[in-house]
Chain A
Amino acid sequence: MSLRPILLVEDNPDDEKLTLRALAKNNIQNEVVVAHDGVEALDFLFGGRNPPPAIVLLDLKLPKIDGIEVLRQMRAANPTKLTPVVILTSSKEDQDLIAGYELGANSYIRKPVDFLQFTEAVRQLGLYWLILNEPPPR
């Protein structure tokens, strides 16, 4: 069975590189597709060319369409309604946490500044969402 890709929605190239690095370091084999803003993310998800991803790592503050809106549209549409979404962001403001969970985010992780902690967080979320967790049926 071919692994479904991971969709990383991240506009900051540094964060993108660090996240990719952390994923690689933890031997996560899934292909990682990067969307650099909300429009690219929605295009990947609803463009009809791609299977739904195994997991979406979603930043909140994004150009054009923000992460909250991406999440809203995902939860409103059938193929992505059940796709695991992990919010991966800098903010831990209550308003973002509430909005994220209200719209059905599966998890909310604040990116640690310490890269080692960040790597550990990515390791755990990869282990949990890609290996331990039983995904919804296709």
Chain B
Amino acid sequence: MTEGLFQTLVTTSGAIVCAKDAKGRYVFVNSQFTEDFNASGKSLVGATDLDLFPQEVAERLRRHDEIALGENGSSVQEEAIRLDGEERIYLFNRFSLPEEASGARLGIIAFEITQRAKVEDDLLVSRSFFEGILDIAADAIISIDEDQRIILFNQGAERIFGYTAEEALGQPLDMLLPMGARPMHRHHIGQFGRSEVGARQMGERGAIAGRRKDGTVFPAEASISRMRLRGRTTFTAILRDVSEARRAEDAIKSLNTDLKHRAAQLENANRELEAFSYSVSHDLRAPLRSIDGFSQLLVEDFGAELPGEAQDSLQRIRAASQRMAQLIDDILALSRVTRTSIDRRGVDLSAMAMAIAEDLRQEEPQRNVTFVIPQDLAAEADPHLIQVLLNNLLGNAWKYTGKHASARIEFGRFTDSRGRIVYFVRDDGAGFDMAYANKLFGAFQRLHAASEYAGSGIGLATVQRIVHKHGGEVWAEGAVEQGATFYFTLR
């Protein structure tokens, strides 16, 4: 090689070329060195790194120089060199030189690799970023190569399958599958590998299953994607253990079945109740008619021969059978309330109450009762049931004011402190003792003797059921001889 060519190579290669003596003094630098490290053009005669670089850099370089010299060989090392506030990365190739006249002992060829180092650094960051994501994922993330060997096995996969990544990597995917599913799975992967689709949900042809290290099999949901990188195909599956979800689903299913079964039973029971009520209404009344009718026939046919006491007894028999007939009707009405489903519509409560008041007046026109009913009471409720409810409440008010010379019955509405719309029926009649208020709404519970006020004791029970059917509440306030107020809400 000629000197000239050698010079050209050293000057134009873009590499930094320099040589130092045993004490670290520069013996030779090329033009690239000057350009990079000595732009100000200081004299380099007898200069060391300390003259060129910040102390900390210079000391490090010197240290590394000595190591290379000491090992009597060479070293390749990245060096970060900060000059004028800018840091650059160089790849330093150091090598010891045979002794010669110039005194040079260490040769250095260096390339700036700042750009590449930065890319590598970014790569490292992004790699740890993605590894971090892989590891916090609750799902198993598993990649396999073309031979279906596991090349990625995240922490989620470790948790779900029970293998450590170490155990799983390099192993055939088959070990994660139930025995029976292996051939089919291979087939599917092969198919998927050849298809045009890049990703798909697995298990479209039925649920898929995984197999844990301990041999247990679990239901799973997974999606798989295919990637072609540098001519090689990898598959990545993201898989979730759905045992819990499946169990919950099964529990819900079984609850549902149970519920359906019960609903059917209930419907059956309801039908039976319906039939029972029908026959009660029909068949229990017939003998009562006979009792009443033939008692009356006795009076009509043999009245003259019957002593007064016998006639009185017959009247009592008749009265009792009529009471029983009323009881049967009331019980039927109560059970009908329970049986029928509610059908809410707009109901004009004012009109309904006024009509009921009119009926009551016509029954006992001699009574002096003032009804106070505002014009605008309306509700979303079942019209038939509300009719029964108002019949009972207004009928009660009418009945329990019967012993007063005059009476006032009010039907009204207000909004309570909880914002609920409360309806009420208030009278100034016989009232009741609040100590027994809890008995008011029980079937057959009466606070007055039948001789005093007629009744079956079912009316308020019916009212309560109607209110409950509407999702409302019913309660009462009263005092003996001070009247009573019945409140109800309809939700």
Contacts and interface: CB of A to CB of B under 8 A. Distances in A.
Interface of A: 12, 14-15, 18, 21, 61, 89-93, 111-116, 118
A75 B293 CA distance: 33
Contacts, number: 58
Given A113-B325, A116-B296, A61 B282 contact: yes
21 contacts: A12-B286, A14-B286, A14-B289, A14-B294, A18-B294, A21-B297, A90-B286, A92-B281, A93-B281, A111-B285, A111-B289, A112-B289, A113-B289, A113-B292, A113-B321, A113-B325, A114-B292, A115-B293, A115-B295, A115-B296, A118-B289
Nearest to A14: B290
Contact of B293 (A14, A89, A91, A92): A14
Interface of B: 277-278, 281-283, 285-290, 292-297, 318, 321-322, 324-325
A43 to B, nearest CB: 24
Contact of B292 (A89, A90, A115): A115
B278 A18 contact: no
Contacts of A89: 282
Contact of A90 (B285, B295, B297): B285
Contacts of A93: 277-278, 281
Contacts of A91: 278, 281-282
A112 B328 CA distance: 13
Nearest to B296: A115
B281 A113 contact: no
A45 B290 CA distance: 28
A113 B293 CA distance: 8
Contacts of A14: 286-287, 289-290, 293-294
Contacts of B287: 14
A38 to B, nearest CB: 16
- Most chain B beta-carbon neighbours within 10 Å: one of A14, A89, A90, A91: A90
For B286, B288, B322, the residue with the greatest tally of chain A CB atoms inside 10 Å of its CB is: B286
Contacts of B321: 113
Closest 10 CB pairs of A and B: A113-B325, A14-B290, A115-B293, A115-B296, A18-B293, A90-B282, A90-B285, A113-B288, A91-B282, A115-B292
A61 B318 CA distance: 25
Given A14-B287, A14-B289, 15 more contacts: A12-B286, A14-B290, A14-B294, A15-B286, A18-B293, A18-B294, A21-B297, A90-B281, A90-B285, A91-B281, A92-B281, A113-B285, A113-B321, A116-B296, A118-B289
Contacts of B293: 14, 18, 21, 115, 118
A90 B290 contact: no
A91 B297 CA distance: 24
A21 B287 CA distance: 17
Nearest to A113: B325
A92 to B, nearest CB: 7
Contacts of A92: 281
Contacts of A116: 296
